[in-house]
Structure 1
Amino acid sequence: MIETLAGPKAEVEDLSASALLALARDRKAAEDRAAADLLEVAARWADLHPPESIHAAAVFSDGGRYGLEHEEPIAGEGCPAVAEFCIAELGAVLGISSTSAKRLIGHALELRHRLPRLWAQVQAGQVPAWRARTVAEATIHATPSLTMEAARWVDTQVASVAARVGPAQLDRLVAETIKRHELAEADPTADPDDGYLSVDPRHATLHAEDVHYAGTMRFEAELDIADALDLDRALAHGAETLKALGSQAPLDARRSAALGDLARTQTALDLHTQGSTAARSEDGLPVAREVVLHAHFDTGLDGLETVFGPTGRLEEGQRLVLLEQVKGWCRDSRTKVTVKPVIDLNAELSAPGYDIPDRIREQVILRDRTCVFPWCTRPARACDIDHVIAYDHEADAEGRQPGPTASSNLAPECRWHHRLKTHTGWRYDVTAPGVYEWTSPHGHHYRRDHTGTTRIDTPPRAADDPEPPGRP
């Protein structure tokens, strides 16, 4: 059953083409309205948690290892800062990571304080929130940073067309507007178009966070014309060589492989001519691949089966990886392969004292995979290992230790969420190996395990807590 904005419910199957279009339009308008409201909520949440709301007397110090809560500037110059730990509560109820919640609040403040024309258009339903947020993201992270005056100038130039151009055009317009302002600031008498010649656009960028499920990453570059043509010829030659050697891969895939071969060959030659004492492969050249990857397959390497064959899990990027890909990496004569022993993730390991031995640390990392705070995706290998029940350094050596260094009392937490748990009202308990139940300062409950986060319940509304204001 579908309820239209016009009134009574109707079966979708009974709607005419015109009615379906009207329903789609209404639903999109409702979605845009909700996104605009969420920006307003995020800005108001920041208003309720200014730096003045931080009370050092309400927290305890751990000797300075992590530091207490501080004010967090999350938008451009002229926007108010917020108490950093308020971000996590909003993110948790929205089902997003603390990083995403920080970005949401930052965009809301940037729009309200530095891009007021766009903010007004979003709240009036004239510009979708996502379009305005792309502009806010650009002005927040512009290099060099934009002054309030510069941001207002961008707002003036962009707001008039933000609702009428596509995403790519909008991105280009914002970038061009920022650059023109920089050039005008540098030399008010210069022709802005001439200034582009003084900007060096060359770069070679690996998008390490953009990992495809097929086990690939995106690499983009802006080269000198001569370098670009030389590279193109080298890739064309490498692709043809691979084809002559029997490769059946498409041309683009062979060009990609040729770029990898080019990189490895250059690495090996450079090290060889420098007389390096690094580890060498069977052909006498130094090991070219020195990237560390952690791939996990079930016993016998016959885990999850897909149409592509046996599939395991790659820690880097939290993605699936094909067994054939791993075999291909290992077959390269200049790849160094290290096989580590299998660790029983269900065994209870313990150690005397506070320090965590490597074998226990590795078990916890493999068991939990990421930071165990709700919705956080930071890889466990980059996290602190936290004693869930605090280790008591004052306990009698022969008495019972309430917070032992043991598998069942350890969990990975990224440094930010570790500080959050240490200095705020967030609390969590272990309910089973690798299963944690969190309680927020406002009484919301979440369960976190290796499969992700689940909301357990919603706290009842207090009698003196008014309903959220509705919108007519």
Structure 2
Amino acid sequence: MIETLAEPKAQVDDLSASELLHALRERKAVEDRAAADQLALAARWADLHPPESIHTATVFGDGGRYGLEHEEPIAGEGCPAVAEFCIAEVGAVLGISSNSAKRLIGHALELRHRLPRLWAQVHAGQVPAWRARTVAEATIHATPSLTVEAARWVDTQVAAVAGRVGPAQLDRLVAETIKRHELADADPTADPEDGYLAVDPRHATVYDQDVHYAGTMRFEAELDIADALDLDRALAHGAETLKALGSAAPLDARRSAALGDLARTQTALDLHAQGSTAARSEDGLTVAREVVLHAHFPASLDGLDGLETVFGPTGRMEEGPRLVLLEQVQGWCRDSRTKVTVKPVIDLTAELTAPGYDIPDRIREQVILRDRTCVFPWCTRPARACDIDHVIAYDHDAHTEGRPQPGATVSSNLAPECRWHHRLKTHTGWRYEVTGPGVYEWTSPHGHRYRRDRDGTTRIGDPDPPARP
């Protein structure tokens, strides 16, 4: 039997097939136990941090899990509220974003208070924590919201089989259970099967965080039958046209390219532009709607971002942590219906200054390009969507009182922070300082320290564990 989780390779190589299977099973049990404990610890952390009022409770809102335009609680009706800013400490310790920490704590509270059977099964080792969390995610964000009674009914139906079915089956079961309960509430005499016709499954979703190193992004859609067949015929025609024009790409790749062409040259856009002053290319077609992408390539492809991959020279896309191929950018520029704008080069190492508190556009752009994202530990919100914060606060009374300005508006004293983390820094004990160009060291209220630079977050010190009485 393996005694530790980090045995020398020689000892692992000595294990028989049966011993390897036994060891893998043990490790999986340890992993499941740790995940269950993490949920219990997250729920206890919530217990220790109630909000002072409902206005200071944490919610999903602008930039939350779903990019909501309205606020939504992190757990359903009947769960205790949690102080807004206590979330950040949990996320930083676990090495996850604050929004991911919200989901963890929300799932823990949802399971403990509204799905008690699943909660018990998780801690008995009968259901993995990740499966229970998928159920909690569905019941938290059900539309319309589930009452406590409705959530308990879902819990009763799902807990009976949650440990025995696969993930896809579990997802379908949860969705069906929620829908049947809604139908029963609306009309106890109605046929539950009729209710499925009222559910509109159509959607068109771009998975902008699912980016392949080849420079592709996944797009998924559920269409009306007639629309789907029309689109299929259009893609087939577009793929054949590309082949006739000399494309040697496989059929699937040509269909994918044809879908992109539809977005740029579809008839509706041409009709909309008739009689207008819309810009047209040399071939008479309307210029496609402008899509603004910020692609960064070094002056020399030997530079920091100019990675040479198996796909060719590579740069960086500002819209999220992803790569872009030089060949792709060249292809975009060759398309006569693509509007390409080249912006001036900015020296990211220059120390730019400005009098007063307001930040000029040239300094703002430099800070955005230098830091790329919000500089709070583990946060990945793009810097272009962030506030620009004076690291050392600007003293508005310094000039009139004849004192030197401690928080000048200079490149080295500015950092991008998303609105939530900007408020966190302003209203809590979180503090940070600049230790180098684009390098920040954060200290949490509990004494944990993190270094954040353009490459990510690193733990640089933990406080001594508290002594038990």
Question: Could you tell me the TM-score, scaled by structure 2's length?
Answer: 0.91
* 1:446/1:457 contact within 8 Å kept: yes
* Corresponding residue SS for 2:52: helix
The separation in 1 between residues aligned to 2:277 and 2:393, in whole angstroms, is 46
Question: Is 1:402 the equivalent of 2:397?
Answer: no
Find the counterpart in structure 2 of residue 443 from structure 1: 447
Question: Is the Cα–Cα contact under 8 Å of residues 408 and 430 in structure 1 kept in the other structure?
Answer: yes
SS in 2 for 1:206: strand
Alpha-carbon contact 2:54-2:81 (below 8 Å) kept: no
Cα separation, 1, equivalents of 2:310 and 2:215: 15
Aligned to 1:307: 310
1:69-468, aligned counterparts within 5 Å?
73-266=73-266, 268-273=269-274, 275-301=275-301, 303-396=306-399, 399-463=403-467, 465=468
The one-letter amino acid of 2:372's match is R
Deviations 1:292-322 (A, max 9, x none): 1000011145621111110000011220011
AA aligned opposite 1:247: S
Change (3 A) 1:217 1:403: same
Aligned-partner Cα distance in 2 for 1:130–1:55: 30
Shift in Å, 1:181: 1.2
Instruction: Mark the runs of 5 or more structure 1 residues left unpaired by the alignment.
Output: 57-70, 467-472
* Cα-Cα RMSD: 2.2
User: 1:54 Cα deviation (Å)?
Assistant: 10
2:342 and 2:81 map into 1 onto residues whose CA distance is 48
Deviation of 1:200 (Å): 2.6
Unaligned runs of 5+ in 2: 57-70
Indicate conservation of the 8 Å contact 1:272/1:285, yes or no.
no
Report the CA distance shift for 1:53/1:203 in structure 2 as closer, same or farther (over 3 A): closer
Whole-Å Cα distance in 2 between the matches of residues 22 and 31 of structure 1? 14
Partner in structure 2 of residue 59 of structure 1 = none
Give a deviation string over 1:401-445, Cα, whole Å, max 9, x none: 100000000000000000000000000010111000000000011
Shift of 1:370: 0.5
Is residue 90–residue 101 contact of structure 2 (8 Å, CA) maintained in 1?
A: yes
How far the C-alpha of 1:2 sits from its partner, in A, is 4.9
- Flag the 1:443–1:55 CA change in 2: closer, same or farther, 3 A: farther
* Overall identity of the aligned pairs, in %: 86
Contact kept in structure 1, 2:320 and 2:380, CA below 8 Å: no
Contact 2:79–2:114, Cα closer than 8 Å, also in 1 = yes
Are 1:14 and 2:18 matched, yes or no?
A: no
- Alignment CA distance shift 1:164-1:55 (3 Å): closer
How far is 1:228 from its partner? 1.3
Asked if structure 2 preserves the Cα contact closer than 8 Å seen for 1:77 and 1:147, the reply is: yes
Cα drift, residue 214 of structure 1: 2.7
CA contact (8 A) 1:3 1:10 kept: no
In structure 2, give the amino acid aligned to 1:436: Y
2 CA distance for matches of 1:52 and 1:415? Answer: 21
Task: Tell me the CA shift for residue 283 of structure 1.
Answer: 3.1
How many angstroms does 1:55 deviate by? 12
Three-state SS of the structure 2 residue aligned to 1:52 is coil
Structure 1 pair 55/185, CA: closer, same or farther in 2 (3 Å)?
A: closer
User: Does structure 2 retain, via aligned residues, the 8 Å contact 1:439–1:445?
Assistant: yes
Determine if contact 2:214/2:311 at 8 Å carries over to the other structure.
no
Q: Residues of 2 paired with 1:93 and 1:270: CA distance? A: 55
Where 1:448 maps in the other structure, the secondary structure is: strand
Distance 1:129 1:20, change over 3 A: same
Supply the distance in 1 between the matched residues of 2:210 and 2:183 (Cα, whole angstroms): 32
| Structure 2 CA distance for partners of 1:8 and 1:367, relative to 1, 3 Å | closer
Match of 2:404, as an amino acid?
R
Deviations along 1:8-56, one digit per CA (max 9) or x if unpaired, are 9981111111111111000000000000000000000000001139999
Residue type at the aligned position of 1:392: D
Q: Partner residue of 1:62?
A: none
Where 1:3 maps in the other structure, the secondary structure is: coil
Point out the more displaced range, 47-56 or 397-406.
47-56
Change (3 A) 1:73 1:221: closer
Letter in structure 1 aligned against 2:143: T
Corresponding letter in the other structure for 1:259? L
CA apart distance, 1:178: 1.0
- Alpha-carbon contact 2:265-2:286 (below 8 Å) kept: no
Matches of 2:344 and 2:52, distance apart in 1: 52
Alignment-mate amino acid for residue 350 of structure 2: A
TM-score (norm 1): 0.91
**1: CA distance between counterparts of 2:301 and 2:223?**
42
Does the 8 A contact of 2:353 with 2:409 survive in 1? Answer: yes
Any conservation in 1 of the 2:112–2:119 contact (CA below 8 Å)? yes
Contact 1:2 1:10 in 2 (8 A): no
Distance 2:414 2:343 in 1: 22
Q: Give how far 1:131 is off.
A: 0.3
Partner of residue 63, structure 1: none
Distance 2:419 2:52 in 1: 23
* Alpha carbons 1:271, 1:286 under 8 Å: kept: no
**Aligned-pair distance for 1:460?**
1.5
Q: Following TM superposition, where does structure 1 have runs of at least 4 consecutive aligned residues deviating by more than 6 angstroms?
A: 7-10, 53-56
Cα distance change on mapping 1:361 and 1:295 into 2, 3 Å: same
Alpha carbons 1:310, 1:322 under 8 Å: kept:
yes
